[in-house]
Chain A
Amino acid sequence: MSDAELWWLIIGLSAASYGLKIAGFVVVGGRTMPPVLERCLALIPASLLAALVVKDTFTTAQDVVVDARAVGLLVALIAVWRKAPFIVVVLAAMAATAIVRAIS
């Protein structure tokens, strides 16, 4: 992605994010949504975050790969399971990945 495209992405995402915040908080306000819509929207983070974990660990462009990042994810998984703070999870995964890269 070029520098200009990245700026457009930043502008677009900032507009979309603020637009969604205003739509809920100012425009629509304290009304409730149909329950089915509410249930589906509540599941967006679960679906997307899980997909992002897999994408960032096991893919490079369009290839499915297993490399040093898999070790990082395993370490992160243990840290999350042990209820470690966010930064510990991230640093542990980074360190594990860096170590595997250094020795391989």
Chain B
Amino acid sequence: MESLTATSGAGVLLDLCGVLMLLCAFACLGSKLFNRYLTYYGAQSWLLAIACGVVAYNFGRVELWVLAVLTLAVKGIGIPAAARRLLIERLELQRDVAISTGLSTAIILGGALTAFSYLVIRPQLLPTGLVAAAVIPLSTAMILLGCEVMVVRRHTVAQLIGWLLVENGVFLGAITLVATFPFIVEAGVFLDIVAGVLIMVVFVSGLARQLAEASSAELRELRG
């Protein structure tokens, strides 16, 4: 038994967490303030930690407890705090203006992507009755929304947030679909390291340019 049934208490809770996480992703997509991005991302990570805890409790798996605690500590607290300190405050970022589409267009596109993810995850793939059948489309939608954030926003910090949203989507899918996946903690740790490195790169390049903005709209030297 690898996945919870949709009607069990834990299944409902997991489903709820998934829906709220998707809402956080939409909130990120619809926001224009760097501070808000981090708030929504932090909230999403807390929800992911709760979802992870629910699955861990249900299956009694130690490594999922580890993952839940790691998620809470690193993604829920560590990354938002570090990004706030190093990026938002040091580089004095406030409003994100480097958006290639309007906000409403971006949201409508996000809705279309969500519908698309329900289309892709067809019933043949997942048996109905499992909570995975409800949550996997949500996590796919989250991955696609994260990619959309990376595409429509040209600011490096916003792209970083997009990447982090993708990662949260992947882990929500992982804990619902394959709770027994052996490498889940290691994968989590490695992706967190990547996030840390990315924050450092943005920070260093921001300082190196002696600019308040490290916008990738200006990163036009390398083309083609």
Do the two chains bind?
A: no
